[in-house]
């Protein structure tokens, strides 16, 4: 039976340090078999006990989250006989950890894909009712028209009659061929079909942010960076008021100018 001190087991399998774990315990955030734990040095049977931190089960590998900069030509799936998948791009030590993409980008789209082994979290960020925004930059074949703003805000009807949730779209201040769109759902080829409905065409699509967490601009195409547990609330944060803020515009400009779009 693998018996270990609780704080050692948590620190081995999460990013928390021993002192942070003490603090978590002090604030009743650690449960073993549904009982709030008061001491960090208790011994636990790591195979049989259910150890929860903030409601999340900690297991041997733990629940992990990685930010990937997906390049074009790669599919957001765990297995594909014809194309390279996001899993193929992972470093060897992460390939067999049951990670999967939480949401999809098209094969020819690029940008932020979250890879995780946490099904609940994935569901949370994908379900429209949880209101986690995804932000995309698109390069258009024809100039952005001012009436897109109202049309998108009313809910675009796609060519097959499906109606999208209301969404916000703005033209990037630097060019009439670039737009930024906020979505709370993920229908098949949604953005491409939305712009097709208003008579335009998406030439290039790049996701730069999920919730309030932006793609790290030091990441190179195809590489990954671990997203720490303490950063997860950023992903879930309500970003309604951020869209029109100056900082958001600065961020968009920085992505458009630093990343080859
Ligand atoms: N909408 C699209 O059309 N494609 C993507 O990859 C993401 C959103």
Q: What torsion, rounded to 10 degrees, do the Cα atoms 143, 70, 105, 54 define?
A: -120
Report d(CA 148, CA 127) in Å as an integer. Answer: 25
Closest atom, ligand 1, to C-alpha of 105: 6
pLDDT average, residue stretch 115-137: 93
Q: Rg (Cα) of the chain, in Å, rounded?
A: 21
Instruction: Check if 189 has its Cβ closer than 6 Å to any atom of ligand 1.
Output: yes
Query: Are the C-beta atoms of 197 and 159 separated by less than 8 Å?
Result: yes
The answer to which of 69-73, 97-101, 221-225, 237-241 has the lowest mean pLDDT is: 97-101
Ligand 1, residues 197, 205, 207, 209: which to mutate, most atoms within 8 A of Cβ? 205
Termini Cα distance of the chain = 53
The pLDDT tens digits for 164-196 are 999 999 999 899 999 999 999 999 999 999 999
DSSP string, 77-93: SS--SSSEETTTTS-GG
CB of 210 within 6 A of ligand 1: the answer is no
Task: Determine the Cα–Cα distance for residues 1 and 46; give it in Å rounded to an integer.
Answer: 8
Res 201: pLDDT: 98
135 near 180, Cβ under 8 Å? yes
Percent of the chain having pLDDT more than 70?
99
pLDDT in tens, 94-119: 987 889 999 999 999 999 999 998 88
Catalytic site residues?
106
Indicate the helix (H) or strand (E) that contains 36.
Answer: strand 35-36
Ligand 1 centroid – CA 191 distance (Å): 5
Give the pLDDT confidence score for residue 1 in this predicted structure. 58
Cα gap 11→18, rounded to integer Å:
6
Q: Which of 192, 198, 201, 204 to mutate to test the pocket of ligand 1 (most atoms within 8 A of CB)?
A: 192
CA distance 18 to 167: 44
Q: Is the pTM of this model over 0.85?
A: no
| pLDDT on residue 260 | 67
Rounded CA-CA distance 38/214 in Å is 36
Average pLDDT over residues 24-33: 96
- Measured between alpha carbons, how far is 25 from 7 in angstroms, rounded to an integer? 9
Residue of the nearest CA to atom 7 in ligand 1?
Answer: 105
pLDDT band at 11 (very low <50, low <70, confident <90, very high): confident
pLDDT value of position 29: 96
Q: What is the pLDDT of residues 51-103, one digit of tens each?
A: 999 888 887 777 899 999 999 999 999 989 999 999 999 999 898 788 999 99
pLDDT at site 63: 86
What is the Å distance from ligand 1's center to 84 Cα?
Answer: 18
The chain-wide mean pLDDT, for the chain, equals 93
């Amino acid at each position: 039976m693998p018996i270990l001190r609780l704080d050692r087991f948590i620190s081995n399998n999460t990013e928390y340090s021993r002192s942070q774990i003490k603090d978590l315990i002090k604030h009743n955030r650690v449960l073993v078999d549904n009982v709030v734990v008061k001491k960090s040095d208790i011994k636990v049977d790591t195979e049989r006990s259910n150890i929860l931190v903030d409601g999340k089960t900690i297991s041997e590998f733990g629940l992990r989250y990685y930010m990937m900069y997906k390049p074009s030509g790669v599919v957001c799936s765990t297995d594909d006989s014809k194309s390279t998948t996001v899993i193929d791009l992972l470093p060897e030590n992460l390939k067999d950890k049951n990670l999967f993409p939480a949401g999809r980008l098209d094969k020819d789209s690029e940008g932020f894909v979250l890879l995780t082994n946490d099904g609940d979290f994935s569901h949370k960020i994908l379900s429209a009712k949880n209101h986690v925004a995804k932000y995309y930059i698109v390069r258009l074949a024809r100039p952005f028209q001012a009436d897109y703003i109202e049309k998108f805000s009313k809910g675009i009807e796609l060519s097959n009659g499906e109606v999208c949730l209301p969404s916000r779209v703005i033209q990037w201040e630097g060019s009439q061929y670039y737009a930024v769109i906020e979505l709370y759902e993920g229908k098949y080829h949604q953005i491409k079909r939305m712009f097709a409905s208003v008579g335009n065409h998406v030439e290039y699509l790049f996701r730069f942010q999920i919730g309030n967490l932006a793609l790290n601009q030091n990441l190179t195409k195809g590489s990954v960076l671990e997203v720490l547990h303490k950063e997860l609330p950023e992903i879930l944060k309500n970003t309604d008021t951020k869209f029109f803020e100056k900082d958001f515009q600065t961020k968009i400009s920085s992505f458009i100018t630093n990343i080859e779009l």
